[in-house]
Structure 1
Amino acid sequence: MDTVEKLVAQIQGLSGSVGDLNQLHHILKQSEDSLRLNSSRLAPFLHQLDPSVHSLGYLYFLDAYTYSVSRDGANEVALLLARFISSCLAEQIRLAHHKFISVCRRFKDQAIVLSEPMRAVAPMLIAIRKIRPSSEHLTTLHPDFLLLCILAKCYKTGLSVLEDDVFEVDQPKDLFLYCYYGGMICIGLKQFKKASEFFHNVVTAPMSTLNAIAVEAYKKYILVSLIHRGKFNTHFPKYTSTVAQRSLKNFSQIYLELANNYSNGNLADLETFVQVNKDKFEGDNNLGLVKQVVSSIYKRNIQRLTQTYLTLSLQDIANTVQLNSPKEAEMHVLQMIQDGHIYATINQRDGMVQFLEDPEQYKSCEMIEHIDCSIQRIMVLSKKLASVDEQISCEPLYLTKVGKERQRFDFDDFDSVPQKFNI
């Protein structure tokens, strides 16, 4: 224990300047084995350190102390970790960011063990903001935070992170999980367009081998596309990896069959198909989303009517889209008007619905401001893309590979470009 006491004194004396912190970090790395051996006796020493002053040293002690936690001690450890995350200094914990990430994940695990994911949501958001170099950086903690938001049903809190533009990624798996969990959060908020974008990013992300995250994302991508657009395009974009194009459909046949049934617009056939395959959808934890797909077919069938009729009675709408009564038809039409999916007016006296053209003239102050914001964002993205392209062009590894590829071709093998044509 004399060694631990000496280490505490060194932490207290070397937590001031950058130079001292670098020296302290070297000492702490050499003391990891000793701290692990004394892990059960570190609690009194933690009280001698201030996490808001001695953050780096406290992190090493906390990592050793919480390395092996019983269920009985989970609550105490969770409190200790939450307080540390909230009070620690970003400039110190970034010196040992891998250890900080490990401690934060331990905190997430304890919250899940206690069945209290809500208590970890706010501290994990603080941890992300402290560990990341900028809002454009996707850390390894992002997926863990989003998972906690899903388990705690704190969807709006998760959305606050999803609104950031991401340009830097630590690990490919982080991006896959970030987009997958992001899509699930958007489903919870009924933001199906944004959910579709996140699942699209998973499906089309570069991959050398197929992974389970991409398979599950593709299934949800099909369902969300049906809810949002009323259809699903089975053709992959050209930039999708070969392995995804070749294999994803094989693992999602039942969902592709569901999309085919949906496109026919027959509610009875769709409900029968879902009932027959209910266990498979439930096994994928997608039954709730599938039921939303079935419910959305009413909306799609009503939208089809707007392409054929200018006016229609509520009774006719109910009969055509297989609703039980004109009142149900009215509720669906009113919801669609409110959501901006159709433009129509309802005459309550005679029960007639008049379908209208889109009233947006694209000349209001709000619309001009929206267009200007979009242009500004595109300009920023364009500059960022040019900067990344320049960095890659100067990267030695990239230049080496390009040089090797270029050697494979002999320009004499190609015909010269003709200077004139004979017609």
Structure 2
Amino acid sequence: MAASAARDLSRTEAEPAARPLVTIALPTYNRAQYLDRFFTHHIDAFTARGIDFEILVSDNCSTDDTAAIVARWAAADPRIRSVRQSENIGAYGNFLYSWRQARGQFAIWVGDDDLLVPDVVVDYLGRLAADPDLVMVQAPWMLIDETRDNAEIGTFYRITGERLFRQGEHAACLDYLLGHHIFPEWFIIRTDVVHDVIEPVTGFVFHYFAHLARALTLGSVLFAPEPFARVTAISKGGVNHSGNSETMDGWDRFRGGIEFFASFIEPAPLADPVQSAPLLRRFQDFTIKRMQVAINLHVNAGNWSHAYHLDRRVRAYGQPGCHPDMRPVLAGLCAIETLVAEARAQARHLLVLDDMIADDTLESLTPGIRAAIIRRRDPRAASPAPKAFALMQTPPEGLLGPDDIVLDLPAAFRRTAF
């Protein structure tokens, strides 16, 4: 199938010679360790399938060996086009720049630690080339655990078959998004519509829903079940991914994205409070599911206060947050975190914590929180620097310095009790 698709995708005489079939856009920053794998995989795979492509690298002013590695590959292969930003323009600025500079008939954005599945990409490119009304192909992506030899975790969402939405079918597409809990993040797009579809990121709307909404105003969008990308979800060395960060704190932007998408439907689907109640419930369920994922991510990251407060919010809707057995641990660690926050809010950057809190308990806190906690036996506890004391009993006379303050340790635990 891929071989025949590749023949069908060969450039016609009418197509300008300077324009490749597809741009593989690679915005990158300080990920030099992944670049050789990225170039080897994509150059070998798409060359073997006869696909005319370019790899567009946008180096976001990296401080590691990225520039040297990219230059070495670009010198050996003219299909690599690279730009080094003069300053760091942020992850989404780099994302936007990559889309804007794509020269191919179609474009795909790929993370530096991610890999395209070439046969599936060729199939989807063939679908786009065969149907001039089709402006975007959406698909789930395969999640990969780098710490387990790139084992497959599963797809981010699942659909059982293809679904095509024609231009203007926003209402049917919204129902589909909510019904399958789809995040429309991985797509192949017709480059001629990029400027009308993709815009700078706003803090109020999850931009991928906005991309999809605008694409449907211009043409058809196909949702296909087969992943065309293998995306690193868990990295060696604790490399952070923007998707994880967004899930941890972006649930309002997710809801904002759904609302933005719904604004393209006429008449306005939320205008009537009675008729809109079922749809609002679906919006709420969509958001709560993201918040539940965020709770687990914050627990895994040791962000106990964030996890605690999210757990409370989810429980207000009668939905489960963290596991019930985990709640006492969550409450206790949140209490300690809030004591450090209370001390810092009053310009005390060291917290002298009661010895009844076991040392191994503190190991579950983030390094930044642990660094602020000392014990009475620590020489810094007797220093003249302003400190905060959090003890179970009233501090004995002579313990406190003139600028030290006392925080109520039992009250902190009472506040976070479930």
Select the structure that is richer in strand: 2
TM-score (ref. length: structure 1): 0.30
The answer to which structure, 1 or 2, has the higher relative contact order (CA under 8 A, 6+ apart) is: 2
Select the structure that is richer in helix: 1
